[in-house]
Structure 1
Amino acid sequence: MLSTSTIGFPRIGSQRQMKVSLERFWKGGASEKELLDTLNEVENEAWSVQKGIQSVGLDSTLYDHVLDTAFWLGAVPNRFQHLSGLQQYFAMARGAEGKPALDMSKLFDTNYHFLVPELEPDTFPLKPNFELVLSKVQRGQALLGKDAAVPILVGPITFVSLARGSVPAAKSLPQILPVYEKLVQEMGKLGVKSIQIHEPILVTSAGASLKDSFLAAYNTLAAAASRCGIAELNLVTYYDDLEEEVYRWAVQLPVSAVQLDFLGVVGATVSNRNLEWVEKYGWPEGKKLIAGVVDGRSVWADLEGHACWILHRLLTKVSSTSLVVSSSTPLQHLPFSLDNEPAGRVPAALQPRLAFAVQKVAEIVAAATAASGNKQQAAGRHLPLDADYGYGEKDFSRPEPYSARRNKQIAMPPFPTTTIGSFPQTKEVRAARAAFRAGKTTQAEYERAIASHIGMAVGVQEALGLDVLVHGEAERTDMVEFFGQMLEGFHFTFNGWVQSYGSRYVRPPIIVSDVKFLQPMTTIEYKIAQSLTSRPMKGMLTGPVTVLNWSFPRKDISRKAQALQLAGALRQEVAALEATGCRVVQVDEPALREGLPLKTTRHAAYLRWAVDAFRLTTSVASPATQVVTHLCYSDFQDIMQAINEMDADVLTIENSRSGNEMVTALAESGYTRDVGPGVYDVHSPQVPPVDFVKAKIKSFMDSGILAGQPDRLWVNPDCGLKTRAWPETIAALRNMVQAAEECRKELVPGWKPQQPAGISGGQKCCC
Structure 2
Amino acid sequence: MITSHILGYPRIGRARELKFALERYWASGGDQNARLLHDVRCELCMEGWDVQRAAGMDYVTVGDFSLYDHVLSTLELMGCMPVRLRQLSCDKLASYFAAARGGSAGAAMDMKKWFNTNYHYMVPEYSSGMEFDPGDGRWLAEEIDMAQAAGHRVKASILGPITLLWLGKERDGLLNRLELLPGLVDAYVHLLSLMLARGVEWIQVEEPIASLDMPDLWAGAMHAAYDVLSRRSPRLLLTSYYSFPSGCFDILCQLPVSGLHVDFTRNFRLGALRCFPRDMVLSAGAVDGRHVWSCDLSATARILDRARDMARLDDRLWVSTSCSLMHVPVDAATEAAVSMSVRPMLSFAIQKAGEVAALKIRLTHGNAGSAISHASPSRSFKPAVGFGTEDLQLTPRRKLGYADRARLQRSALGLPVLPTTTVGSFPQTPRLRQLRVLLRRGSIRLQSYMGAIRAEIEHIVRRQAELGMDVLVHGEVERGDMVEYFGESMDGFVITRHGWVQSYGSRCAKPPIIAHDVSFVRPMTLYWASYASKLTNLPMKGMVTGPTTIVCWSFARRDQSYQEVSLQVARALRLEVELLGSSGVGIIQIDEPALREGLPLQRAMRRRYLAWAADAFGVACSGTSPCVQIHTHICYSELGDVLQTMSDMDADVVSIEAARSNMSPLALLRGFHKGVGPGVFDVHSPQLPSQEAMASRITAALGIVPPENLWVNPDCGLKTRTWEQVNAALSSMRLAVDDVKERLRIGSGALPRQA
Q: TM-score, normalised by structure 1?
A: 0.92
Asked if residue 73 in structure 1 is aligned to residue 97 in structure 2, the reply is no
Cross-structure match for 1:283: 276
Match of 1:273 among 262, 268, 272: 268
Cross-structure match for 1:87: 94
1:98 is displaced (CA, Å) by 5.8
Asked if residue 313 in structure 1 is aligned to residue 306 in structure 2, the reply is yes
Secondary structure in 1 matching 2:391: coil
Inter-CA distance 522–551: structure 2 relative to 1 (3 Å threshold): same
Match of 1:151 among 151, 156, 176: 156
- Verify the 8 A CA contact 1:98 1:686 in the aligned structure 2: no
Inter-CA distance 752–546: structure 2 relative to 1 (3 Å threshold): closer
1:369 is displaced (CA, Å) by 0.2
For the residues of structure 2 that align with 1:470 and 1:133, how far apart are their CA atoms? 46
Match of 1:296 among 289, 292, 300: 289
1:465 is displaced (CA, Å) by 0.6
For the residues of structure 1 that align with 2:679 and 2:151, how far apart are their CA atoms? 47
Match of 2:343 among 345, 348, 351: 351
Alignment of 1:562-641 (within 5 A): 562-641=565-644
Secondary structure in 2 matching 1:318: coil
For the residues of structure 1 that align with 2:181 and 2:12, how far apart are their CA atoms? 31
For the residues of structure 2 that align with 1:73 and 1:129, how far apart are their CA atoms? 10
For the residues of structure 1 that align with 2:95 and 2:586, how far apart are their CA atoms? 46
Cross-structure match for 1:764: none
Alignment of 1:633-712 (within 5 A): 633-667=636-670, 670-702=671-703, 704-705=704-705, 709-712=706-709
- Verify the 8 A CA contact 1:680 1:693 in the aligned structure 2: yes
Bigger shift: 584-593 or 633-642?
Answer: 633-642
Cross-structure match for 2:239: 236
- Deviations along 1:696-724, whole A, 9 cap, x unmatched? 0011112x22xxx3232111000000111
Bigger shift: 431-440 or 460-469?
Answer: 431-440
Inter-CA distance 339–401: structure 2 relative to 1 (3 Å threshold): same
Match of 1:174 among 152, 159, 182: 182
Cross-structure match for 1:57: 61
- Deviations along 1:395-422, whole A, 9 cap, x unmatched? 3521111111112212221211000000
Secondary structure in 2 matching 1:623: coil
User: What letter matches 1:701 in structure 2?
Assistant: L
1:635 is displaced (CA, Å) by 0.6
Asked if residue 449 in structure 1 is aligned to residue 446 in structure 2, the reply is no
For the residues of structure 2 that align with 1:718 and 1:129, how far apart are their CA atoms? 38
1:647 is displaced (CA, Å) by 2.8
For the residues of structure 2 that align with 1:509 and 1:627, how far apart are their CA atoms? 26
For the residues of structure 2 that align with 1:239 and 1:398, how far apart are their CA atoms? 36
User: What letter matches 1:275 in structure 2?
Assistant: L
Cross-structure match for 2:325: 331
For the residues of structure 1 that align with 2:392 and 2:219, how far apart are their CA atoms? 46
1:306 is displaced (CA, Å) by 2.6
Cross-structure match for 1:400: 400
Number of residue equivalences: 731
1:79 is displaced (CA, Å) by 2.4
Cross-structure match for 1:761: none
- Verify the 8 A CA contact 1:461 1:469 in the aligned structure 2: yes
Bigger shift: 311-320 or 497-506?
Answer: 311-320
Inter-CA distance 349–394: structure 2 relative to 1 (3 Å threshold): closer
User: What letter matches 1:742 in structure 2?
Assistant: D
Alignment of 1:682-761 (within 5 A): 682-702=683-703, 704-705=704-705, 709-749=706-746, 751=747, 754-756=750-752
Cross-structure match for 1:500: 503
- Verify the 8 A CA contact 1:104 1:115 in the aligned structure 2: yes
- Deviations along 1:239-293, whole A, 9 cap, x unmatched? 001125x1122122111111010102xxxxxxx2332311xx2321121111110
User: What letter matches 1:326 in structure 2?
Assistant: S
1:507 is displaced (CA, Å) by 0.5
For the residues of structure 2 that align with 1:182 and 1:49, how far apart are their CA atoms? 31
- Verify the 8 A CA contact 1:325 1:367 in the aligned structure 2: yes
1:2 is displaced (CA, Å) by 2.1
1:46 is displaced (CA, Å) by 0.9
User: What letter matches 2:418 in structure 1?
Assistant: F
- Verify the 8 A CA contact 1:242 1:274 in the aligned structure 2: no
For the residues of structure 1 that align with 2:282 and 2:667, how far apart are their CA atoms? 44
1:151 is displaced (CA, Å) by 1.2
- Verify the 8 A CA contact 1:411 1:757 in the aligned structure 2: no
Inter-CA distance 551–435: structure 2 relative to 1 (3 Å threshold): same
For the residues of structure 1 that align with 2:70 and 2:131, how far apart are their CA atoms? 21
User: What letter matches 2:544 in structure 1?
Assistant: L
Secondary structure in 1 matching 2:104: coil
Secondary structure in 2 matching 1:458: helix
For the residues of structure 1 that align with 2:562 and 2:580, how far apart are their CA atoms? 27
Q: TM-score, normalised by structure 2?
A: 0.94
Secondary structure in 2 matching 1:536: coil
- Verify the 8 A CA contact 2:698 2:712 in the aligned structure 1: yes
1:67 is displaced (CA, Å) by 0.4
Cα RMSD for the two superposed structures: 2.1
Asked if residue 533 in structure 1 is aligned to residue 540 in structure 2, the reply is no
User: What letter matches 2:308 in structure 1?
Assistant: L
For the residues of structure 1 that align with 2:194 and 2:449, how far apart are their CA atoms? 58
- Verify the 8 A CA contact 1:583 1:624 in the aligned structure 2: yes
Alignment of 1:535-574 (within 5 A): 535-574=538-577
Cross-structure match for 2:361: 369
Bigger shift: 581-590 or 297-306?
Answer: 297-306
Secondary structure in 2 matching 1:157: helix
Inter-CA distance 315–741: structure 2 relative to 1 (3 Å threshold): same
Cross-structure match for 2:202: 194
- Verify the 8 A CA contact 1:710 1:748 in the aligned structure 2: no
Bigger shift: 535-544 or 83-92?
Answer: 83-92
Inter-CA distance 304–258: structure 2 relative to 1 (3 Å threshold): closer
User: What letter matches 2:680 in structure 1?
Assistant: V
- Verify the 8 A CA contact 1:682 1:721 in the aligned structure 2: yes
1:74 is displaced (CA, Å) by 1.7
Q: Which runs of 5+ in 1 are unaligned?
A: 265-271, 759-766
1:607 is displaced (CA, Å) by 0.4
Asked if residue 13 in structure 1 is aligned to residue 9 in structure 2, the reply is no
1:576 is displaced (CA, Å) by 0.8
For the residues of structure 2 that align with 1:472 and 1:447, how far apart are their CA atoms? 14
1:450 is displaced (CA, Å) by 0.6
Q: Which runs of 5+ in 2 are unaligned?
A: none
Inter-CA distance 636–396: structure 2 relative to 1 (3 Å threshold): farther
Inter-CA distance 396–11: structure 2 relative to 1 (3 Å threshold): farther
Inter-CA distance 499–125: structure 2 relative to 1 (3 Å threshold): closer
Secondary structure in 2 matching 1:355: coil
User: What letter matches 2:622 in structure 1?
Assistant: S
1:387 is displaced (CA, Å) by 6.1
1:492 is displaced (CA, Å) by 0.8
For the residues of structure 1 that align with 2:156 and 2:588, how far apart are their CA atoms? 48
